[in-house]
Chains A and B, each alone.
Chain A
Amino acid sequence: MPKLLVCYKWVLNEQDIKIRPEDLSLDTSRAKGKISDFDRNAIEEASLIVEQQGGTVDALSYGTPAVKQSVKDALSRGPNRLLWIGDPQAEDADALVIANVLAAAIRKAGPYDLILCGEGSSDMFYQQTPARLAALLGLPCVTFVAKMTLEGDVLKATRKLGDCTEQVSVTGPAVVSVLSEINKPRIPSLKQVLGAAKKPSEEIAIGSLGLAADELQPRAVRKSAKGFLMNRKNIIFKESDAAANVAKLVASLAAEGLA
């Protein structure tokens, strides 16, 4: 019976983030949290595997103490157990710190037969965690997976790499990153949401992982995030007479030298 782990990140919903026009700073005060989009595909894939062939799925997340808000959502999507690490310093964590913390937690809670991640997080989209985790744990890594099957301890996967697709196989424990096209994440049913409350979730204290100060020190520091300013003319034709709108647009395109 395979023992799977899926990692996910609790991120701000970018649709709720507003840009303050006076200085282009980001107003996140109304932004709600969500499980990062591609990580939902990873959770779904891990859950489908164990629902079809038995085994268990643990979910693991590292973030600020707000990550606790994700417990119910994550567990209602299929995992049997949730491990989470809430650390105020996670706000400034870079991919190096994230991978160090996740790897330490995996060493503590594991071993696992397969570790799944999304291809990247919807906030930072560093796309580093899967390959970093594999390097730290000494495991092979299969990235950008569009389709996968697990037969015994053999993983067969189809990778999509832009100009080609690659059919690969790997035996034994591995780290996998999945693309959004691999599945359609479930919308948890009422039964699944209620069931989630009965599943175990466990906080792992960051201090219990035995990480040195150096391993928790970000090397990449984000400065001055500024909203991207759309500086456009915004000339919109919206009369009820479609032909009149079209005539005005064609005149505008002609004035721009484009028609």
Chain B
Amino acid sequence: MTSGRQRWLGPAMFLPAVVYVIALVGVPFVLAFLYSVGDVKVGSLGYHFVGLKNFASVLRNPTFLRALRNSFLFTISSQVLVLIGANVLALVLKDAFRGRRLLRFLILLPWVAPVSIGSIGWKWILDSLYSVINWVLVRFHLVKPFSAPMWLGEPKLAMISVILVHTWHMLPFATVIILAGWTAIPRDIPEAAAVDGAGFFRRLFQIQIPMMLPIMNVAVLFGAIFTFTDMTVIYILTRGGPYDTTQVLPSMAFFTGILGGDLAEGAAISIFLVPLLVLVAWLMLRTAHRSEIA
């Protein structure tokens, strides 16, 4: 009797998740793909297949090429910073000391706080007139008043600012993952290395980090894909400006497709990322798998 019920129970429990994924990931994805090879604009009624015309037009657009380059710059530099920062933080947090719990909680805060709220905070911190950073710099006579840096107004500074704010937001998650990796290494092993004559850096780079590579791969995989597809920080801080110098592919797709009304070209821009992300994911999973079986 129960066997008949059990046969349906599994699929029934599974169904909401499947529906959810199809409705919110599958359908938009297929739609985006169809848009990218069609001529759809906001408000247009018909659909004509145009082949790769949208992609060709996108590739001729210098802003697109800049956004593509920025996407890589944004992702790679923030991931490098996150990885270094998370390792340092994990190194500090793994040993017991007074106030560790409080510190762990504080470090986790940027992750729990909504990105938009955090970013708006940073927008004020980096504001051209009311920036607290500039106020401090002026008070310490490090810069002259009225010639203080325009954190979000100068192309290079703006890029640095969005990278740093995004790093700030991503750091806690990576720290938690890497901290878990640290605690999974048996205490004996770094101790054996110490007795074997290895100093701090040799232990770190030849023993502990190689042992954590699979876990760091996971952290980087998640971080990279999340960063590649995210535009919150850029949208709030710079809107891709000044002069599109901080534009990344997701923000450009949004501005072109949703705000600009050219759905087909927006879709082409966002679809452009897919093969790349698949490749990144595949590479990461492969290295993770390799270091696991080796």
Is A bound to B?
no
Which chain B residues have a beta carbon within 8 Å of chain A's beta carbons?
none
